[in-house]
Each structure stands twice: as structure tokens, then as C-alpha cells.
Homo-oligomer: A and B are copies of this chain.
Amino acid sequence: MLIFTAIKVKMAQSQELAELIRLHRKVAGLSRIQLAELAGVGKTVIYDIEKGKETIQLDTLQKILKVLNIKIVLTSPLLEDLQNSKNEKG
């Protein structure tokens, strides 16, 4: 488990999707095939993503992220404003 220590720093900063997936998969103790089966996608997609492909489809990515317990959060100034004005009421 120590092997990952090196990756950690890089990971947390870069947010590179490829390494994010790879790290989570490794920590979960899954092979690409296992992850693919759990996510209900082909094994090639896992390979592609970890190779850095950015043109994968959103729903495919979501299936994979779900298995790895990774959440996608969308934020924006507008959304934060809405969130605030909701608490304050208007």
C-alpha cells in the first residue's frame, strides 16, 4: 500500500482523470477487467481512460466513477449565488 505514496502528491494536484481512476482502482484491488465488469462497460474503455483519453462519453465515465465511489460535482459562481440566496431567502 506504500507504493502509492509517490502518486498521492501528483494525484491530488493534477486531478488527472487517468491517474484518479487508476489510483482508486488499485486501492480497491480491482483489475481493469473486474472494474469494467462491475461498471458494465468494456475493458477497453478502462484502458483508454487510464491512457489519458479525454473523448470518452459522459455516461460511460459515470458508470466507472460510481463503482469507484467518485462523485462529480459541478460548481459555478451562479450556482453559489443561488445556493446563498436560498438560505437567506428573498
Contact = CB atoms under 8 A, between A and B. Distances in A.
Interface of A is mostly: helix
Given A69-B76, A73-B75, 14 more contacts: A9-B86, A12-B86, A15-B74, A17-B58, A20-B74, A23-B78, A55-B57, A55-B60, A69-B77, A70-B75, A70-B76, A72-B72, A72-B73, A73-B73
Contact of A12 (B54, B62, B83): B83
User: What interface size band does chain A fall in?
Assistant: 35 or more
Residue from the set A68, A75, A79 with the largest chain B CB neighbour count within 10 Å? A79
B71 A72 contact: no
Contacts of A65: 74
